Amino acid sequence: MVEQAEKHLWARLLAWCRSLAGATVIGTIVIALIVTVDRGGYVLVNTIVTGGMTALVAMGLALTLGVLNIPMFAHGEYFMIGSLTAYYVFTPIKTYMETHPESILALWGPLVTIIAAMLVGAVAGVVSEVLVFRQLRQRSRENWVMNSFLLTVGLSVLMINAHQLFFGADFKGITGYFSGMPINIMDVYISKDRAIAFLLAAVVVTGFWLFMTYTRTGRAIRAVSQDETGALIVGIGLNGIMMLTMALSCALAAIAGASLLFMYPAYPSVGLEPLYMAWFVVILSGLGNVLGAVMGAFMVALLKVMTVEYIGSGWDFVVPSALIIVILIFRPSGIFGSEVRGVLDK
């Protein structure tokens, strides 16, 4: 019995390795290792940190696509809201710490900051859903994809300009959440900030996955993304689920913005780069495919890091975009197929 089950598992594992998805994942890992050997461990660290954070942004984007059916162009602005909140929460904490180095805030200050950013991001998501998208949804669902897309473009411009108007266009950044020596693992130096950023991404992605798979509400979100009418029929309220989805996906982007404040200071259009990265990921892994987005995020991150490493930092968007064009031509549904089929042609 057990042997048979084991055999079955092996067969499935082998089949997966031979599938396009498996091959790409394994290929990515191999390439990452080769590059690491060639150039040094920091390449791997960069890939993993960038990948983890891109995963947070891309997962949220995939979620808005899958559940609300919105091709979100303003998603980077929730990243921006996260970094802005983090800046204004962490700056006073830091000043306080300078005079009270023994305070427990030295350890918990960064976490408090990131949680504050997460909450503000979630609220921003709920507000956009209730004041903008719900209004459109109630008026007309004709041409929904195009209309909602245009709305998100407007929202993006609005938020970028609001930032500039109220907070100014300068860079509002910090040197780091943690001071002190970087951690040394096998001769690779990792700053504490990067290590924490990656740990946080890992925890959040895992927690999110557990939530979507095992909780009643998580299942309801998946149900809405797979069949809206079916969800209504079994008694799931769409308004609540859509609001929650926006809260979640915007909170994820805000967490990324806050965790990366030491790399990307807050300024009006700081969200554009993560937005493009997230779109690359979502197109690569299939629209609306939330788990695929996690894998895709690491691939895009590796591609970006490699481009910077071997070609030059000016090219880091050119190579991924070229790849996306090729993928769209040969595999319009993405490498992992789409968990939520036909999100855009519903």
Partner 1 sequence: MLLEVKNLNAGYGFLQILRDVSLNVDKGEYVCLVGPNGAGKSTTLKTIAGLVKPMSGDILFKGEPIGGLPGNQVARKGISFVSEEMNLFVNMTVNENLAMGAYTIKDKQQQKDRLAFVYDLFPRLVERRNQLAGTMSGGERKMLAIGRGLMSDPTLLLVDEPSFGLAPLLTENVFQSLDTLVKQGMTIMLVEQNVTKTLAVTDRGYVLENGRIELEGRSDDLACDAHVRKVFLGV
Q: With contacts defined by CB under 8 A, name the span among 69-77, 194-202, 218-226, 276-284 that binds partner 1.
A: 218-226
Number of residues that bind partner 1 (CB under 8 A): 20
Structure tokens at 90: 């962490």
Dihedral-angle region of residue 184 (phi above 0 means left; psi in -120 to 50 means alpha; beta otherwise): beta
CB of 62 to partner 1, least distance (A): 14
Query: How many Cβ atoms are within 10 Å of 19's Cβ, its own excluded?
Result: 14
Shortest Cβ 298–partner 1 spacing (Å): 23
**Angstrom distance (rounded) from CA 167 to CA 17:** 50
Strand-strand pairing, 183-185 and 188-190: antiparallel
DSSP codes, 198-222: HHHHHHHHHHHHHHHHHSHHHHHHH
Is the CB of residue 252 less than 8 Å from the CB of residue 57?
A: yes
Using CB under 8 A as the binding rule, whether residue 32 contacts partner 1 is answered as no
Quote the tokens at residue 34. 């080769």
Give the range of 13-21, 153-161, 264-272, 335-343 binding partner 1 by CB under 8 A.
335-343
Least distance in Å: CB of 262 to partner 1?
A: 39
Q: Is 186 left (phi over 0), alpha (psi -120 to 50) or beta?
A: left
**Separation CA 108–CA 85 (nearest Å):** 16
- Residue 168 interacts with partner 1 (CB under 8 A): yes or no: no
Say whether residue 16 binds partner 1 (CB under 8 A). Answer: no
Question: Which of 186, 216, 313, 345: binder of partner 1 (CB under 8 A)?
Answer: 216
Distances from the Cα of 344 to the Cα of 73, 111, 332, angstroms: 15, 37, 12
With a CB cutoff of 8 Å and minimum separation 6, the contacts of 109 are 90, 93, 94, 97, 177
Residue 227 interacting with partner 1 (CB under 8 A)? yes
Q: What's the alpha-carbon Rg for the chain, to the nearest Å?
A: 21
By CB under 8 A, is residue 180 in contact with partner 1? no
Stretch that binds partner 1, among 69-77, 179-187, 318-326, 336-344 (CB under 8 A): 336-344
* Least gap, CB of 216 to partner 1 (angstroms): 7
Q: Give me the phi and psi of 183, to 5 degrees please.
A: -80, 140
By CB under 8 A, is residue 232 in contact with partner 1?
yes
Choose one: 40-48, 116-124, 317-325, 338-346; the region binding partner 1 (CB under 8 A).
338-346
- Of 110-118, 169-177, 204-212, 334-342, the window that binds partner 1 (rule: CB under 8 A) is 334-342
- Asked if 236 is part of the footprint of partner 1 (rule: CB under 8 A), the reply reads yes
**Residue 316 lies near partner 1 (rule: CB under 8 A):** no
Q: Name which of 149, 94, 161, 119 is nearest 254 in CA terms.
A: 119
The nearer residue to partner 1, 65 or 266, going by C-beta atoms, is 65
- Which C-beta is closer to partner 1: that of 45 or that of 295? 295
Sequence-distant (≥ 6) Cβ neighbours of residue 315 within 8 angstroms:
307, 308
> Interface with partner 1 includes 31 (CB under 8 A)?
no
Nearest to 166 by CA among 268, 19, 51: 268
Is residue 192 at the binding interface for partner 1, with CB under 8 A as the rule? no
Q: Does 68 bind partner 1 (CB under 8 A)?
A: no
Q: Does position 314 bind partner 1 by CB under 8 A?
A: no
Are the C-beta atoms of 251 and 25 separated by less than 8 Å? no
Count of CB atoms situated within 10 Å of the CB of 226: 16
User: Could you say which of 219, 309, 315, 319 contacts partner 1 (CB under 8 A)?
Assistant: 219
Indicate whether 339 belongs to the interface with partner 1 (CB under 8 A).
Answer: yes
Which listed residue (212, 258, 340, 343) binds partner 1 by CB under 8 A? 340
Nearest distance in Å: CB 145, partner 1: 19
Residues binding partner 1 (CB under 8 A): 216, 219-220, 222-223, 226-227, 229-238, 339-341
